[in-house]
Structure 1
Amino acid sequence: MTTARTWAVALTGVDGHLVEVEADLSNQTPDFKIIGLPDKSLAEAVQRVHNACKNSALDLPRRRLTVNLSPASLPKQGSGFDLSIAVSALAAGGAISTRAIAGTVHLGELGLDGRLRPVPGVLPAVFAAARAGFDTVIVPRGNEAEARLVPGVEVRSASTLSEVAVWHGADIEVQDADPVPSSAPAIEEMPDLDLADVVGQEDAVNALVAAAAGGHHLLLSGPPGAGKTMMARRLPGILPALSEDESLEVASIRSLSGESVRSLTVMPPLEAPHHSASVAALVGGGSKVVRPGAISRAHRGVLFLDEAAEFSRVALDALRQPLETGSIEVSRSGMTALFPARFQLVMALNPCPCGNYGVRGAECLCPSLAIRRYATRLSGPLRDRIDIELRVARVSASRAMTGDQAALTSEVARSRVLRARECAAERWRGTPWRRNGDVPGARLRQPDLRIPAAARAPLDRALERGTLTLRGYDRVLRLAWTMADLEGVARPGPDEVGRALYLKRGFAS
């Protein structure tokens, strides 16, 4: 038999595509070629596979060897194809069973000594194999814990190529070698942060609860030391726990980012990129391998932009489309990768470059032009996509030194959020939406959900005066329904609309 086939997985974004790896031998001048649209790192597999086989007592035949990666029109990237190329080449030469490898997916990078090295993206790759109907996947030992998170698949882990070859019928001794540990950083567990630690910011805490209940985006503005960062980092702790499917989504994105995934977590993720982050760092990209950005790593969780005005305006405006669609499409030459990006945006903003503008007892030295320029760093279209804008002040010394904690703990806040989300889920049953923040404004303006004219009068006046756009109007409607769910009333009234309008623009009429 001079032809053999096995399987690997090519990743484009979080989507995995099964790739048939075919090896063929011909009686011509010895050569080794890989075809089927490989990138540079994959083309270099020729030397890695040749040396790994030789150092594992599995010499390749001295004939022309051609390996085809099918479908040929699909771009293939990275070193994760090494193991599948090696076993198909060995099977074509008769060193291992062609039947044994035909129904197995092989993932992993080869070292020159024959050891198997971990690769990123194993979790979504194993998912793709399971969806395609494969029941056996072989992965490097360093990726074993991650691969076993996928149910219904037999995962075999190996440290060396010789170990895999023996499983497939090779008549050699398994070489002893220490497994290559994963060099990827492990996912850090979020510390246990409680809302009870926040003192003297009742309005801001209530706004945080409303944001969690409806999935609303939030902007906190105020001087340094007012507690904006402290509160934003406590938002994931009051969000509902992730479901199993959501946990797997989050873990898959972490795996694509190169992090070591050892278990599933039910805590929504929190991403807080530095203000020097580039557009590619926020939305994803890369010159050779497309990786998810901060907005995708925050999927099902919170994206926190501290010192938001210090981010480049181009980077901030790149968030506008993902905020509306819940996904980001990264296009590169010859390929397009789609990443999920359904996150809650929380931004913290100082009143001016020095942070003291409008602060009682503090001196602001910023020129008026600098203050105006600083305030406009967030574009109008981006601010229009923010549901809640709240100004917070520093806590007085008398309140800070009392030692009293806030009455609202994270546990109590989470229970309120869960009850409100249950009300919303019941209202939107049979629709694609589950949170008020996701519902299109056109749906909220239909007769069956229309708020009575007397209750929405201040909102209508704000729209007529031009202080609200229609998009802002719809966001106030969403927020009003969330306030009603938190209060346990069937439909928003004047109080709920007024509170929602205040949270949107800081005024009540």
Structure 2
Amino acid sequence: MLVKTFGSAVYGIEATTITVEVNILPGTKYFIVGLPDNAVKESYFRIESALKSCNYKMPRQQVVVNMAPADIRKEGSAYDLTIATAILAASGQIEAEELDKYLIMGELSLDGTLQPIKGALPIAIQARKEGFKGFILPKQNAREAAIVNELDVYGIESIAQVAGFFNGDTKLEPVVVNTREEFYNSLSNYDSDFSEVKGQENIKRALEIAAAGGHNVILIGPPGAGKTMLAKRLPSILPPLSLYESLETTKIHSVAGKLSTADALVTVRPFRSPHHTISDVALVGGGGNPQPGEISLAHNGVLFLDELPEFKRSVLEVMRQPLEERRVTISRAKFTVDYPSSFMLIASMNPCPCGYYNHPEKECICPPGVVQKYLSKISGPLLDRIDLHVEVTPVNFSELSSERKAEASELIRERVIKARDIQIARFGDKPDLHANAQMSSQMVRDICKINAAGQNLLKKAMEKLGLSARAYDRILKVARTIADLAASEEIQLEHLAEAIHFRSLDREGWAG
């Protein structure tokens, strides 16, 4: 008897429906065709043991499994349940009438229970798009898939439940998640707040500007000055995720298998902080079966690179293109996948190997020329893509011991949202543009116009600091953001001066 069931393959953050055909013929062998990888081929042993554990039989005839379309490589163990259900139906152990209405995915354990899968959300979205009535998957992934409405999502614990469901012996209740309630209830759940930070008002101002315009930042300062502490609080002042951004971010984390069983949605902006030993593939994504990297997991959020010069140069260089294009394309011989990677980069570093160059109290013990050599570990093109260069100085005792409460993240966030609203109105006819940092060079010329006094100030600054043409655009973008925070239609001289101040750590103007 020939039976068809349906599963799904995920490429990038999009899913493709896979038809699993099982036919039982006279003979004794088991064949699986349709470009399966080793994990799929090994499913025979998991399925046989799972069926026996649940008091079902593996047919002792020739079983032919075809996975269509045959030109797409099928990878991973998530097809176990799809194949096992088709085998049960083809051998007459369960009813096959309703099978074509459901998409079925799950990895089987030897005792018939189910292990979670990756990519449940994009699979559920594709299932609804193709008109499936329901989606049967492991219980651990049910909440994640249930945020897709107009699709019955059944979270199950074992293959026995699936067999009972199609035979009419077991009644399954669909998992229901109120997407909007889930989204709005967790929108501002941050563990840290700027109100906990003593002093560092100039750094808070720099991070407020960065958040308002979506600009990249590098913090340079001695050990213990608070660089990491400040960076971790940046997401708390960014505008809250929109529902569309939340769904898009959740899809990426779903594909990477990073969602916990309690989470249905990613409701706060991601903060990713990879260790400096990370490889270039782990950072941008890739591998034999391409997976999203850290820059995609930071999509719509913050990527924090602590101790920037300690990262391998090749790792930092592969990040240059995604910083500009806000997406990364991974190409293989037979296919290409795109992952979105629109993130804010915040990096930190010591000013020199010993950490105390320009320290107000401790003396730097590095030999002559070492400071410049240390900074040179970061290439000029990458440094040019970082809009704000901020020097972090240690907090003195009087500020540390002060009882005065610092400004809360919520208040800073209100100003950031107002500045972003101005930018959204400015870029209203360009749906892909949301912040000043995303402006093209031509848009900078049209939108960030300055008067003659401003041109003169900028000319002197560029000559003195030896800034590149790209740095010129960056200064104008930052100045436009500062003007937006001040609700000013024009870029004033003080806005431009503050923007230039945040390039003062540039290569030729900082370490001599």
Q: Structure 2-normalised TM-score?
A: 0.90
Partner of 2:391: 391
1:61-119 CA-to-partner distances (Å, cap 9, x unmatched) read: 33322211111111221111111111122222233333311121001011222222222
Could you tell me how far apart the structure 1 residues matched to 2:47 and 2:89 are? 13
Partner of 1:132: 130
Matches of residues 200-279 of structure 1 in structure 2 within 5 Å?
200-259=199-258, 260-261=260-261, 262-279=263-280
Matches of residues 293-442 of structure 1 in structure 2 within 5 Å?
293-332=293-332, 334-406=334-406, 408-431=407-430, 432-442=432-442
Matches of residues 414-493 of structure 1 in structure 2 within 5 Å?
414-431=413-430, 432-446=432-446, 450-462=449-461, 467-493=466-492
Post-superposition offset of 1:361: 2.7
- 3-state secondary structure, aligned to 1:30: coil
Shift in alpha-carbon separation, 1:34–1:459, aligned structure 2, 3 A: farther
Partner of 1:180: none
Partner of 1:35: 33
Could you tell me how far apart the structure 2 residues matched to 1:457 and 1:425 are? 30
Which residue, 126, 141, 159 being the options, matches 2:157?
A: 159
Cα contact 2:222–2:394 (8 A) shared by 1: yes
Post-superposition offset of 1:17: 1.0
Could you tell me how far apart the structure 2 residues matched to 1:42 and 1:460 are? 63
1:399 maps to a residue whose letter is E
Partner of 2:494: 495
Could you tell me how far apart the structure 2 residues matched to 1:250 and 1:25 are? 42
Could you tell me how far apart the structure 2 residues matched to 1:348 and 1:100 are? 57
**Which sections of structure 1, spanning at least 5 residues, go unmatched?**
175-186
**Which sections of structure 2, spanning at least 5 residues, go unmatched?**
172-185
Q: Structure 1-normalised TM-score?
A: 0.90
- 3-state secondary structure, aligned to 1:5: strand
Post-superposition offset of 1:461: 4.5
Could you tell me how far apart the structure 2 residues matched to 1:112 and 1:192 are? 40
Q: Which moved more, 1:261-270 or 1:40-49?
A: 261-270
Post-superposition offset of 1:223: 0.9
1:113-142 CA-to-partner distances (Å, cap 9, x unmatched) read: 222222222222222222333230001122
Cα contact 2:461–2:500 (8 A) shared by 1: no
Q: Which moved more, 1:58-67 or 1:418-427?
A: 58-67
Q: Percent of aligned pairs with the same residue? A: 39
Shift in alpha-carbon separation, 1:377–1:5, aligned structure 2, 3 A: same
1:392-438 CA-to-partner distances (Å, cap 9, x unmatched) read: 211222332333343x3211100000000001111111113121111
Could you tell me how far apart the structure 1 residues matched to 2:358 and 2:465 are? 26
Could you tell me how far apart the structure 2 residues matched to 1:198 and 1:499 are? 23
1:239 maps to a residue whose letter is L
- 3-state secondary structure, aligned to 2:304: strand
Cα contact 2:144–2:265 (8 A) shared by 1: no
**Considering only aligned residues, what root-mean-square deviation do their CA atoms show, in Å?**
2.3
Partner of 1:110: 108
Partner of 2:82: 84
Q: Which moved more, 1:215-224 or 1:475-484?
A: 475-484
Q: Which moved more, 1:136-145 or 1:190-199?
A: 190-199
Shift in alpha-carbon separation, 1:114–1:343, aligned structure 2, 3 A: same
Could you tell me how far apart the structure 1 residues matched to 2:358 and 2:479 are? 30
Partner of 1:94: 92
Could you tell me how far apart the structure 1 residues matched to 2:242 and 2:39 are? 37
Q: Which moved more, 1:416-425 or 1:42-51?
A: 42-51
Cα contact 2:272–2:303 (8 A) shared by 1: yes
Matches of residues 275-286 of structure 1 in structure 2 within 5 Å?
275-286=276-287
Runs of 4+ in structure 1 deviating by more than 6 angstroms, as ranges, are none
Shift in alpha-carbon separation, 1:224–1:465, aligned structure 2, 3 A: closer
Shift in alpha-carbon separation, 1:194–1:452, aligned structure 2, 3 A: same
- 3-state secondary structure, aligned to 1:443: helix
Q: How many residues align?
A: 489
